[in-house]
Amino acid sequence: MVQIEAPQLPRAGPWEQKQVSRMELKQLPCPPCQVPVPVTCLGAHETANWPCHKAIPSSCCRPCGQPLACANHTCTKPCHVVAGPGIKGKGCQFCEEACGKERPEGCTHPCPRGKCHPGSCPPCTKFIKHSCHCGLYPQFLRCNELTNSSASSQPDIKDQLLSCKDRCPKLIACGHRCWLNCHPGVCGSQSDCTSTVKTSCPCKRIKKTVACNSSSSLKIECDETCRRKKEKEMEVLSEKERVRREEEARVNELEVEQFQRKFEKQRKHDKRRRYDQPAPRQQHPIYVKVLVALVPIVGLLSVLWWTNY
């Protein structure tokens, strides 16, 4: 409110009353307040002193930077109103990126939740096809079981998962099948092989069934019965050999007799045919035939020669 004094005007005449001064109150606008006041932007990024008449929160145009609901990224919208210090991220954008967290070692599958999320990823439950140690049967295991066994400090857990629990089909040095269940690495040694083998004495009469690991140290000798049996077999073989030789000699003699009879018969037949046929003409040598043919020619040439002379 301002008090204003009215102006004094001169009287026009005596008939005019003398003007009395009076005061008038008027309300005028206040000038802008220039007192500096701290003002914080809408996103609470910075606080600056502004004149009082301009102290209105506004956007500083910086990226918001408030953590999103995924707790992995921040809001990239320009500075905007945030709904209080205890409700960060309200009014910010929604994270639409895929989960980019590092997968466990050995897992090649994407995160089961797909989009970006807070906290750790859930375990991967996809099945993976692996061959067992012996390579006969495929094993279908969940990915998280295999990765957990790889990260474990006990390697036997992974070996048990990849085992088909069947007997190892590989052969060891002695030629028998490995007695261990499906396993990695080399098989057992022959000294631990418990497969049964048959061993016998040199003549094969005395036979025993023993374990493979003790067969190399066990040696069976022939007894008196074996020796008598061997002598008897030798006698039988000698008798068979004698009979074979006699039979062979008899067959040879029979063949010789048949050949002689056939030869005598052939010789008599040739003798009879030689007497029945006439004697063949004597054949002259070739030079005699040539001389006989040249005699007329020489005579003819002689006659012609005497005739001319």
How far is residue 303's CA from residue 120's CA, in Å, rounded to a whole number?
A: 145
Residue 276 lies in a domain: no
189 and 207 both lie in a single domain: no
Residue 202 lies in a domain: yes
pLDDT in the model for residue 86: 45
132 and 175 both lie in a single domain: yes
242: helix, strand or coil:
helix
Residue 19 lies in a domain: no
- List, in order, residues 6 or more apart from 173 with CB less than 8 Å away: 189, 190
185 and 205 both lie in a single domain: no
Structural domain range at position 211: 195-227
Q: What is the pLDDT of residues 145-170, one digit of tens each?
A: 888 877 666 667 888 888 888 888 88
Q: What is the pLDDT of residues 178-233, one digit of tens each?
A: 888 888 888 877 777 877 778 778 787 778 877 887 776 677 778 888 888 888 88
Residue 156 lies in a domain: yes
Q: What is the pLDDT of residues 40-97, one digit of tens each?
A: 888 888 888 888 888 888 888 888 888 888 888 888 888 888 765 544 446 788 888 8
Say whether pTM exceeds 0.85.
Answer: no
Distance of alpha carbon 52 from the chain centroid: 76
Q: Tell me what the pLDDT averaged over the chain comes to.
A: 78
Q: Band the pLDDT of 2: cuts 50, 70, 90.
A: very low
Give Cα separations from 209 to 56, 100, 191, 193 (angstroms). 104, 66, 17, 14
pLDDT in the model for residue 106: 81
Number of domains in the chain: 3
73 and 49 both lie in a single domain: yes
Residue 309 lies in a domain: no
| Contact between residue 183 and residue 168 where contact means Cβ atoms under 8 Å apart | yes
